[in-house]
Amino acid sequence: MEKMTAQVEPFSIKGRHIDFSLRTYLMGILNVTPDSFSDGGKYFSVDAAVAHAVKMVEEGADIIDVGGESSRPKGLYGQGSQKISAEEELKRVIPVIERISHASDVIISIDTTKSLVAEKALEAGASIVNDISGLKFDEGIADVVAKCHASLVLMHMQGTPETMQFHPTYNDVVLEVKEELRDACDIAITAGVKQIIIDPGIGFGKNVEHNLTLIKHLKEFTSLGFPVLIGTSRKGFIGALLDVSVDERVEGTAASVAVAIMNGANIIRVHDVKEMKRVAIIVDAIRNVT
């Protein structure tokens, strides 16, 4: 019986051997923003952000994903997120990345769509750039990642945070998302990026049915040959199905994470690290049974 997703080559990140065939890796979400949909403002100060990062590492996070600009969808959470300048984004994330890198040897990811922010974050101690636009907003990110010998997460998003949840439309959501991710990977490879992770972008320009379909057919994405990251944590489709608020979506998140891992996810991006680490351990054990 096949174990996990053995066709994905191991990565070397921050001198660490990352073998995706052995287990699922956890990316802990750290929003250094006042307006993120789930925890906006909670970790806006440097001290609070670093303390939360250390806590997530203690709970089992392999990667801390630091974001300074919210992508909260307009229309679902009030007026949606507010665009900020690169200067403001740098002001928010660089002190946090520097402090985390001194407090822990955890792998740090910078969640940004700006090449300037990506470059400064990598210089400050990050090893991964997580681009939710899949290079659509700033192709220069690929050049920065290649130059710094870093890793790149390419996510799919239809539209922008301002428009993405107003009537997202696909003829075949799996095929179209897969093709767009393949195109983004080609751009990154041409720029010289060696380590690419793909993310189908749950909740980013998708309705409930689109999200469920992508999770159900996640194995389709493993055929591209890149590690697959998925972020279902506390997302709107869980709230819609269960009719619960953001802070009551742990069980729904756990269910979606379990199915995603069984269907080929290599990295899960989550808010509730302790709980989802336990889910991943159990699902990995089931997946690895011979």
118-133 residue pLDDT tens: 999 999 999 999 999 9
For the question of residue 194 being annotated catalytic, the response is no
Instruction: Say which residue the tokens 């972020």 belong to.
Output: 231
Boundaries of every domain in the chain: 11-287
Give the residue ranges of DSSP H helices in the chain: 46-59, 86-103, 115-124, 140-147, 173-191, 208-216, 219-222, 236-242, 250-262, 273-287
- The alpha carbon dihedral of 189, 192, 198, 199 has a sign of negative
> Which of the four pLDDT bands, split at 50, 70 and 90, describes residue 39?
low
| Percent with pLDDT over 90 in the chain | 84
Q: Is 269 a residue of the active site?
A: yes
Q: Which of 99, 235, 249, 277 is catalytic?
A: 235
Which of 136, 269, 277, 287 is labelled catalytic?
269
Whether the full predicted model's pTM is greater than 0.85, yes or no, is yes
Distance separating alpha carbons of residues 134 and 187, to the nearest angstrom:
10
- The rounded distance, in Å, linking the Cα atoms of 4 and 283 is 10
Q: Answer whether 38's CB lies under 8 Å from 271's CB.
A: yes
Q: What is the pLDDT of residues 212-262, one digit of tens each?
A: 999 999 999 999 999 999 999 999 999 999 999 999 999 999 999 999 999
Could you tell me the sign of the dihedral formed by the alpha carbons of 201, 202, 208, 209, in that order? positive
Q: If one looks up domain 11-287 in CATH, what number appears?
A: 3.20.20.20
Based on its alpha-carbon atoms, the radius of gyration of the chain, rounded to whole angstroms, reads 17
